[in-house]
Amino acid sequence: QRRNLQIRVTMSISGTIGVISGINECVNLFQWARSSISSLHSRWSGKQEQNLQDEVLHLQSGLQCLSDTLPAMYNLIDRAEWRSHKHCVAELLPKFSDAVYDAEDILDEFRWYEQKVTVEGIASQSAFIDFFNCVIQGSFNKVKDIQKRLENLSNLLEKMGLGEATPRFDKSVRPETSSFPIETIMFGRDQELTQVIELLVVREGDSTTKAHSKGKRECRTINSSKRTLATINHVCNEQENGLAVLPIVGIGGVGKTTMAQHIYQQVKPHFKKTIWLSVSDDFDVKRLTKEALQSISGEESTGQLDSLQHALHKTVCQKKLLIVLDDLWDDALKENGQSWKRFCAPLKNVRKGSIMLVTTRSQKVADGVRTMKTLKLNGLKDDVFWNFFKLCMFGSERFSNDHELEQIGRSILPKLKGSPLAAKTLGRLLRMNRHTTYWNNVLESELWELRQQEDDILPALRLSYMYLPFYLKRCFSLCGVYPKDHEFEKDYLAEIWVAEGFVEPQGDIPIQDIASQYFEDLVSRSFFQKVHGAYVIHDLLHDMVQMVSKNDCFILKNVNEFQKIPKNVRHLSVLSNPKFDYSKLLSLCKHEKLRTLICNMPLEDKVVAPVMDHWCTELGRMRVIICASTTGLPGSVCNLKHLRYLEISRASPLKSLPSTFCCLYNLQILYIGECKIESLPSDFDKLISLRRIELCGFRYYLEYQLNCDALEAEQKKRYLHGL
């Protein structure tokens, strides 16, 4: 019966051509459909007409419901990621994310049909019919199916308590720290440790005033692990008071807390009052003030914030104070920094020479609280790090009984990038099994593929990812589709994020500028680092992002990895490999939910060139295609209704674009600058979303001026005629 109704809707709406020519060309598809049915009311009974109208209304209502619930679904994904270390949540999260992706795709497809009506007007009378047939296939309704999946999975997740309290780090993942070092020996930090201690300690016989005055005239230096001199200026008038703030910054697992613990223990006798606070992701001024008082007095304090701060002020006033705030996160700077100032207010009248040590992963936090130049901790140097890794693997840094295992260990060492926590993680895994086969398997595996405990290196680094706002999580997780050591360009990555739909509009600000600010935010949070003028992701952070995006992103390097591609992968990069033949590349068509395809191997060979036609036919949800080179774009490119970004990065034999290319109403970016395009389709102006074009010798950016000086007059005329 439903199938018959669908046929009647299709036939009836098709029959309205010419009857409702007065309808505005830009009218909403559903208004168009309802008007079509009403205009032909004489052709069927009132009940039939009502059934048709109801069917259209149900579809419209279903799409609106999906659109309205997406923000709540994003919020639930965000909350679930905070508990993804729990097996039950980790099992459901990929399924829930998949349903959310499907909802986005069907809404995006509907918008394409709306744009078709906008562009083609009355000539596009089949738009609603095509969309209707795409969504409703017999008794199966895609929209209702997605709604049921979302409802079912969200209910299961919320029953696990994910819809309740504000997300915080689980204590099992981020345990509280104390001033007592777990590691009694520090490897490779002797020089930094000694110089920081000399900076903080006023020697016997020196007055505080002299020592402090001396700090005005001198720049004390700390040797980083790179052996470059980083000056730490002891500012005299620290933040209107005598409390200097020295941040220690580095990625998770590099040894910040251990460094702070050793400093604390060694300089403690030189201070009248000492406080250690384990802050983590909950910068609650009242809680921290209570704990500061308890740290000094040994007694639990109660009362309002005002009375607590008066008590703390009285306790530390004119006293030489050492206070450590371990593991500071961005919420310390909430309320435009007012929360931080509120916490520091009772500490204003401490004695000169007092100091606050802060450990943080975020350069942004360090810059927001420091009064002295930040001490940045990098990975340990090779020789020292090898000794530490041997201790983790064999229980001794000097001796191992197995030369072969030691050689494999040396080969594993570069993976760890000098991270003490990474050395502990791999050392624990290797210590469990002393067989060379197992060690070689660890060597050949990516770090993110190895099973890890909650306090190991990648779960520790994942905390930084979890703390990101959801929109930055989506942006950074996409970087898991790029190989290690990939050099990122801000503008390029910003365009990709926009094309993927990850960037939230903000009033009249150009969306490209918003995406660029996302990139700067990730830089300030140390997710990207600048090396020799280019932005890269630290190898361990890259392992972490591959771990968190393992269901969505995949890098195809070898022939044997085709079977490892996740079933519902969304973002895929294909590295150049001569063993990737036509059949292997064709097999990618089964991953029909793919949104991003980065193919770094040329598709010019006659054997593999036809694969592009199959990709365009079967992978209709792709939003971003980056291809090294190709002989041409097939007519089937019109199937890519979601496509926003198309790049052919190298010189290719491509000379023209098919006429069907002009159906890509969502296309925003077209980069084929190395191809000698001789002509553009006559309907090129139908690409209403196009913002940036780079053709051979021709560049057009909507935000900027046209740049085609390199073209001869006739060439300009030919290109501009197409536009």
Mean pLDDT for 308-315 is 94
Q: Which of 116, 143, 160 is the last residue of a domain?
A: 160
**Domain shared by 639 and 698, yes or no:** yes
Which of residues 699 and 575 earns the better pLDDT score? 575
**Averaged pLDDT for residues 545-568:** 94
Instruction: Read off the CATH number of the domain in which 692 is found.
Output: 3.80.10.10
Does residue 60 register a pLDDT over 90?
A: no
Mean pLDDT of 333-346: 93
- Whether residues 590 and 502 share a domain: the answer is no
Dist. CA 345–CA 337, nearest whole Å: 12
Do 712 and 574 share a structural domain?
Answer: yes
Q: Which long-range contacts (CB under 8 A, 24 or more apart) does 173-176 make?
A: 173/85, 173/454, 173/455, 173/459, 173/463, 174/280, 174/281, 174/327, 174/463, 175/455, 176/278, 176/280
Please count the structural domains in the chain. Answer: 3
Assess if residue 206 is contained within a domain: no
Q: Is residue 70 part of a domain?
A: yes
Q: What DSSP designation does 165 have? A: S
Same structural domain for residues 522 and 556? no
- Same domain (yes/no): 537, 555: no
Among residues 530, 548, 566, the one where a domain terminates is 548
Q: Which of 628, 678, 671 is nearest to 655 (CA)?
A: 678
Mean pLDDT of the chain: 82
**Is residue 167 domain-resident?**
no
Whether 581 and 541 share a structural domain: no
Strands 321-328 and 355-360: parallel
In the prediction, which pLDDT does 710 show?
43
The confidence score (pLDDT) of residue 48 equals 57
Residues 85, 156 share a domain: yes
pLDDT bucket at 200, cuts 50 / 70 / 90: confident
Name the phi and psi angles at 669, rounded to 5.
Answer: -125, 130
- 18 pLDDT tier (thresholds 50, 70, 90): very low
* pLDDT over 90 percentage in the chain: 51
Most confident residue range from 27-41, 474-488, 572-586, 641-655: 474-488
Contact 350, 316 (CB under 8 A): yes
Instruction: Tell whether 494 and 625 lie within a shared domain.
Output: no
410-445 pLDDT per residue, tens: 999 999 999 999 999 999 999 888 899 999 999 998
Residue 681: which residues within 8 A CB-CB, separation 6 or more? 657, 658, 659, 661, 662, 722
654 and 666 share a domain? yes
Give the three-state DSSP class for 232: strand
Q: Which of 529, 548, 567 is the last residue of a domain?
A: 548
Is the per-residue pLDDT at 77 higher than 60? yes
**575 and 717 within one domain:** yes
Q: Are residues 110 and 80 in the same domain?
A: yes
Instruction: CATH number of the domain at 531, please.
Output: 1.10.10
165 assigned to some structural domain: no
pLDDT at 202 over 70: no
Q: Tell me if 594 is assigned to some domain.
A: yes
The pLDDT assigned to 32 comes to 58
**566 and 503 share a domain?**
no
Is residue 388 situated within a structural domain? no
Would 711 be classed as within a structural domain? yes
Domain coverage including residue 504: 468-548
Count the helix, strand and coil residues of the chain and give each as a percent rounded to the nearest 5: 50, 10, 35
Is 696 within the bounds of a domain? yes
